[in-house]
Amino acid sequence: MKHFYFLLISFIFIFQSCEVINPDEDMPSFIKIDTMTFSANTGEGTSIAEIADAWVYVNGNLVGAFEMPFEIPVLSSGTSNIKISPGVKLNGIAGTRSINPFYTSYDNNMSLSIGETLTITPSCEYADGVVFPWNNRGEEDFEEGGISIDSIGDSSTSIKKSNTEVFEGNYSGHIELNSTHQTFYGQSTNAFVLPAGAGVVMEIHIKNDVPLMLGMFAYLPGGTVVSNDHLGVNAGSDWKKLYVNFTELVGNYPTATGYRVFFKSNIGDKTEANIYLDNIKIMHF
């Protein structure tokens, strides 16, 4: 059995305790989960998720949060209510594992037998009421004619469509840095109206061989614009999916009239560098 985590739920949630199996108690049943599937509907962007953990409840009691795949003992038998909530790593950090409130939970009555293993493949989707304000497709996936990210400020290059390094579909967004174009600074074309006091998360796929900063501009009454560096993404050789938690940032500006996401990077000590983006979407309730 994999070690389970006592986790801090980073927003909207509370601490919960887990039950520890006492070897002197009754023999357990077992639950086995290898993976959790996810599907998005039209206007909700990609169906590719990065569900790291399953939060397991039996008859309303939290058993624990487990990294998949796993097989765990539970002190229940017979017809039991089993609820599986999908967990993600907020901001790509293992220490901020959390139930994703934007995803539905698997909830079903199933039969548990003492000493036997029940194998479940839970499924989930976006919850009712989730809003995807980026565009009518729910995301910037670089498959359409234009790109909804503009260069700003002292940026010496722009983001372009590429079909040579793609996470999903036919194109990704490519930022190429070299000795002539050493700096990128870009923002979402649209300003999003985001609710203070509610969850706000950006999903994004990134492949970057130099560090990339993600942040937001907050537009305040009277014309003031506040720039907020939010999450530095370390360089790496592989694509990664991030769930960027903007909840606290947005909550700091309850009177803001809008927000733009920004991306910035520079070549550093390299002679050339590449950043690829795909499936960028903002969501809130």
Tens digits of per-residue pLDDT, 212-267?
999 999 999 999 999 999 999 999 999 999 999 999 999 999 999 999 999 999 99
| Cα–Cα distance measured from residue 189 to residue 40, given in angstroms and rounded to the nearest whole number | 24
Structural domains in the chain (count): 2
- Domain span holding position 59: 29-125
Q: For 57-91, how does the pLDDT look when each residue is reduced to its tens digit (9 = 90+)?
A: 999 999 999 999 999 999 999 999 999 999 999 99
pLDDT digit string, tens, across residues 89-113: 999 887 788 999 999 999 999 999 9
Q: Is 8 part of any domain?
A: no
CA geometry: angle 133, 134, 136, nearest 5 deg: 85
Q: How far apart are CA 151 and CA 188, in angstroms?
A: 9
Picking from 125, 140, 172, the residue at the C-terminal end of a domain is: 125
pTM of the model: 0.88
pLDDT (0 to 100) of residue 48:
97
pLDDT at 140 over 90: yes
What CATH number does the domain containing 233 carry? 2.60.120.260
Q: With the C-alpha atoms ordered 142, 258, 126, 53, is the resulting torsion angle positive or negative? A: positive
Q: What average pLDDT score do residues 36-50 get?
A: 97
Q: Are 68 and 193 in the same domain? A: no
What is the CA angle 96-140-220, rounded to 5?
70
The amino acid at 33 = I
